[in-house]
Amino acid sequence: MTATAPPGRPAPPAAWPGPPGQRPGAPTGARATGAALSTTGGTGTAVATVPGTSVPLPTGRPTPRRMRLVALGLVAVGVLVGLVGAWSFSNADAALERADANAAQLVRLQELQTRLVSADASATNAFLVGGLEPPDRRAVYDDAMTTAAELVAQAARAQPADGTALAALNVAMLDYAADVEQARAANRQGLPVGAQYLRNASATLRADALPVLAALIEANEDRVSSEFGAARAAWIPVVLVSLLALGAVVAASVWLARRTHRYLNLRLVGAGVVLLVLLVGSTVTLGSVSTAVDRTRVGDFAAASALSRARLAAYDAKANESLTLISRGSGAAFDEAWEASSAITLDTLRDAHVAGAEDLRSAWDTYATSHYLVRDADAAGEWDLAVEDATSDAEDSVNATFAAFDARTADALAEASQGTSDTLAEARSGLGLAVWLAALAGLAVAGLSWTGFARRIEEYR
């Protein structure tokens, strides 16, 4: 029942319809609690938010943009794997090729060194005869010098970096040959000064020519060692990059699976399998290259180097043998040089045997026995008998036993040099194909990774 005012008086206020105890004009509902109304997503659903607080963002599957970024990252990883893998195999192949070429150059220079010393040994031995030297001895000298000149030309063509030093060596060889001719002319006339000319020629050879060759040999040994090191380390880049790439593919697969709840992506599994195959193949292939290099370095290559040094020291000893007799009582220094060269010969022959070559120390001992017979005759004052023994080619003579040693060491050197080349060539087999396979593997990883993510992006849409 509604109260009405009497006539002439104002009507009383209407009753307050709100909750008891709440004064009129106070905010109600959401306003009473300081909340605001908003709608979400156009659905018309009201959501109350409190001033000073943030509205939580809805969570759910990853956006296609984020998926594309991860996919592009895997594509870049695949391309990197292909490039690094191809480079690793190519670098190993090139290093082995350069090592073979430098090893051949090293053997060539060592043979050149031996030929020069053998020419000197032949010249000094022929000089003992006096007067007109025997034609066969002159032929040995001429053949050694001709071969040496040919080796200089071959070495210059094979390694242009050695050209300047080889040019200086050629000049020293010409000076030596001129001194020998001068000594021969004096000897044919019976002039004692011929002996001095010959000693000067030998000294010039050892002071001018042989040091140049020693420097060239050292430089080429360093080149061979450097290329061996490059070939041995070629596996490191491709193995490391393959491992990192495999980890990236696994991590991306786990990330994608957690957000899409699709736990098997065959394309990404395929990318991982390709990386695993590349990893194992690279380890096995380049690991075998490293093993072959190590085997060659301590085997045939070491034997060839040791045999070359042994032959050089042997010919140096043979030259000093003749120079001792030419000096006629004042050749103690040359005799001491023979002993030093003999010790080097035996040491290097032992090194060659340790590296796998035939033990040839007995061949040197046979020659050394004949040499000491010559020295005993000279020490006993029988100089003519000593010269006769030193210039004889009879069986068991000093020249015959040395020729036998020379032939056996030459055969062993040729075998070791060929073994080095064969082992390096075998190690290179298949590396050219591996370059292309590694590049294709990288492209496969990139393609599989992209298509694997593309399928999930389409499903997300």
Cross-strand partners of 38: 47
Q: Is the pTM of this model over 0.85?
A: no
- Distances in whole angstroms, Cα of residue 459 to Cα of each of 256, 259, 446, 448, 454: 12, 12, 21, 17, 9
CA distance 443 to 76: 10
C-alpha–C-alpha distance, residues 23 and 19, integer Å = 9
Task: Identify any residues that bridge with 49 across adjacent strands, giving them in sequence order.
Answer: 36
Please provide the DSSP assignment of 183-222 as one string: HHHHHHTT-THHHHHHHHHHHHIIIIIHHHHHHHHHHHHH
**pLDDT by residue for the chain (461 residues), tens digit each?**
444 445 555 555 555 455 555 455 544 444 444 444 444 443 444 444 445 544 444 444 446 788 889 999 999 999 999 999 999 999 999 999 999 999 999 999 999 998 998 898 888 888 777 666 778 778 888 999 999 999 999 999 999 999 999 999 999 999 999 999 888 888 787 777 878 888 888 888 988 999 999 999 999 999 999 999 999 999 999 999 999 999 999 999 998 888 777 778 899 999 999 999 999 999 999 999 999 999 999 999 999 999 999 999 999 999 899 889 888 877 889 999 999 999 999 999 999 999 999 999 999 999 999 999 999 998 888 988 988 888 888 888 999 999 999 999 999 999 999 999 999 999 999 999 999 999 999 999 999 999 988 887 777 66
Closest CA to 405 of 276, 325, 292, 310: 310
> Residue 45: enclosing H or E segment and its boundaries?
strand 45-49
| Phi and psi, residue 48, nearest 5° | -90, 130
CA angle 361, 330, 399 (to 5 degrees): 35
